[in-house]
Structure 1
């Protein structure tokens, strides 16, 4: 009689474990981080995840939508409350937020989003021109003469617009892939509320638009919208050059699924859009090379602070031999992924997203410089790949049962 409830109970218990793991991660961050934004987020998130875990395992009255209540608690604690707290202007912001705001102002005033010959860390803009677009709202708000302490300044905060692109990319991809279901929505909410993504949304947001554009562009390409998909992918590549790693996989998907003509159309629109997006970078090529290429890779005159203890960073810290070992491992990963791509080209969004997520994971884990926040990009790719795969399987007709002899 109670057997029908077992799968649902098991699902709630699995969600409780996830929330507990999320909460432990928040407490670890609170213990070891010295950044005000991280500590503020961890306080709120740990409470939200803890309440969500309790709701998932505590007996509740019949008919109570336990899963929804738990997700509301997690989203409130990990996203809504810290987002409001960190955007109210009373907490120290991470340097990236100021960099984006300043680059937006520079783009408006000079057409070039870079401080010429920047040497101070706070003046360096490691992003390509499209990222400066997220700083334009702050520049426009500042020009209105609004009191710096006014709540209206939140409208210009780059984190708000970065989060909007990421959420829009996730939901837009789900709609394009026809994965709209209660399960898909719940999975997407749980993914966005996970610590890596929620913390990034509240604290800096810099990797979110890249992830959002990648997801949406890949979904557009996978659903045979090569022109629009190419423009969106070009926007991702005009935020960070690392997004170029996705191009071979997207082209393999288009060739395998729709043919070379569709792939050629994608390339044409990608090149045209990219040429437009990078114009501000070309206008100051020396600053672009110094700040966008040399600085993030650790070859600039100013050392990069992106040195989280990732495997590649730890290897590089051992000296020249360790750096060579990290690059050799990267080369091995590139060969393996390229071989798999040639032998088993992706034909679905899920397969292509998995390929791209694997490529980014290898790159971020083994690069000589890096930080944990980068991993939200493969996390979102893997998460949407799983959601899309489940949607594909649910649409497949069930085979007829075999009749007994």
Structure 2
């Protein structure tokens, strides 16, 4: 990186927070949804404060680096002047004041985290206590009430006849569990969504061998990618956290630790199986995990993964399907595919939604394109299975991106899945490269207590350049020639003929 690029790179963090502030302000100004407007108003102030705090820290760091460069230059000039003479050398520079280092001071870090927290925590508290949320939060609360009262989170097809989209529950049976605390103690489901995501995502980074787990988790949570859905809805967050944790358990770090790839396969199956009981977007993760463990551990790892995924799938999907099969089919299958009497409010201008709006033929084309994309993704997993968690996360992100684009009823908010999976894969790959990077710097140090270097060898295992037949003295080759003496940085070295006084050179 050249000097200009390095100077511009220090402003990357302030520019990032400034961009987040602009996005939040535009969201508050353009949206017609009250929860999004509240989040945008609070988040814009928080991001702007974070940008100013990081900019102040960056400018202070640049002033400190200029001070150190100035002091180092004058020290070099004074050392070259020597003991003799000149008025300028005797006077030297004016006395300099010592400046403390600005790197990661506790005050700067605390201010930045408080500013970022105001973009995620404050809007969540305001919206939760004012009972303002997107429709999916109310759907989860009603599903939990029906689960406690009737034993099923779904209404029957007969009761859904003539009802609008608010009567449907497009989630799988496990999602209703997050609404149970609301029915018992009045706790909003968004707090449960956020807690599960924070715990599982941080644990996935820890298992994957990433650095700065807490800082990365908090900064991701404070970004608009997570802060916006966490405040207004958040039903995708627990699914996302469980999927990342399952992929991390399928390929723990470090891979060369001597542990069997099938050791954590059962735990990975348990976690991904729990995610598959929440939303249908987690089912591709099960296929990707199967391909990953088949490539790494063979049949034993695949078997252990299926054994681990069997209990949550049986309790959260099979038993509800046996108890209320028609209700599950009408709510969780027909309604998301656009085959129910009521139309889904998810109508972002994506290819699948645009095709479905052309009529029955267009809807059939959208479903056919979705099935074709699923078959192509499955074929890629069979032909070239991923062999580490990062590649598996990227493959899953690509599959979810295609599904989001081709679903007959979809929205831009579903892009949080491929975006976070790609970021998780990038962090894991980056830290893995840092751990595996070899130290290519030559080790020129020599242990004086080990005695002289043997003839014909110089350094650690490197062949000597001494011609055959040349006598080598105990002090090293070419003992009859001059040697260079060490000197302080910024000064010329002295050449001393062996056995004589040093002779200065210029």
* Residue 166 (structure 1) aligns with: 197
Alignment TM-score, normalising by the size of structure 1: 0.86
1:191 aligns with 2:235: no
* Residue 231 (structure 2) aligns with: 202
Residue correspondence of structure 1 range 21-40 to structure 2 within 5 A? 21-40=19-38
Gaps of 5+ in 1: 142-152
* Residue 218 (structure 1) aligns with: 247
Q: For 2:280, which of 241, 245, 249 is the aligned residue? A: 241
Residue correspondence of structure 1 range 5-404 to structure 2 within 5 A? 7=6, 10-58=8-56, 59-60=59-60, 62-63=101-102, 65=104, 68=109, 71-88=112-129, 90-116=130-156, 117-118=159-160, 119-141=163-185, 153=186, 156-179=187-210, 181-182=211-212, 184-223=213-252, 224-278=263-317, 279-320=319-360, 322-323=362-363, 326-327=366-367, 329-330=369-370, 333-334=373-374, 336-398=376-438, 400=440
Q: Distance in 2 between matches of 1:329 and 1:56?
A: 46
Query: 1:268 Cα deviation (Å)?
Result: 2.5
Query: 1:105 Cα deviation (Å)?
Result: 2.1
Q: Distance in 2 between matches of 1:128 and 1:332?
A: 24
* 1:12–1:57 Cα contact (<8 Å) kept: no
**After the TM superposition, which of the residue ranges 52-61 and 369-378 deviates more from structure 2?**
52-61
Q: Distance in 1 between matches of 2:16 and 2:352?
A: 28
Q: Distance in 2 between matches of 1:211 and 1:111?
A: 27
Greater percentage in helix: 1
SS state at 1:303 partner = coil
Q: Distance in 2 between matches of 1:338 and 1:276?
A: 26
1:84-139: per-residue Cα shift (whole Å, max 9, x none)?
Answer: 11111x25222211211121122222221123333233322111111011011111
Instruction: Select the structure of larger CA radius of gyration.
Output: 2
1:351-385: per-residue Cα shift (whole Å, max 9, x none)?
Answer: 11111111111111222210122111222211111
Q: Distance in 1 between matches of 2:133 and 2:367?
A: 34
* Residue 150 (structure 1) aligns with: none
1:248-268: per-residue Cα shift (whole Å, max 9, x none)?
Answer: 211111011112111112112
* Residue 452 (structure 2) aligns with: none
Query: 1:37 Cα deviation (Å)?
Result: 0.9
Query: 1:395 Cα deviation (Å)?
Result: 1.6
SS state at 1:87 partner = helix
* Residue 144 (structure 1) aligns with: none
Greater relative contact order (CA < 8 Å, ≥ 6 in sequence): 1
1:36-66: per-residue Cα shift (whole Å, max 9, x none)?
Answer: 1111000011111122222333334751638
Q: Specify whether residues 12 and 339 from structure 1 end up closer, same or farther in structure 2 by C-alpha distance, changes over 3 A only.
A: farther
* 1:207–1:373 Cα contact (<8 Å) kept: no
Backbone CA RMSD of aligned residues = 2.7
* 2:274–2:309 Cα contact (<8 Å) kept: no
* Residue 445 (structure 2) aligns with: none
The alignment covers a number of residue pairs equal to 386
Q: Specify whether residues 107 and 331 from structure 1 end up closer, same or farther in structure 2 by C-alpha distance, changes over 3 A only.
A: closer
Q: Distance in 1 between matches of 2:348 and 2:115?
A: 26
Alignment TM-score, normalising by the size of structure 2: 0.70
SS state at 2:11 partner = helix
Q: Distance in 2 between matches of 1:334 and 1:157?
A: 35
* 1:313–1:367 Cα contact (<8 Å) kept: yes
Q: Distance in 1 between matches of 2:164 and 2:335?
A: 12
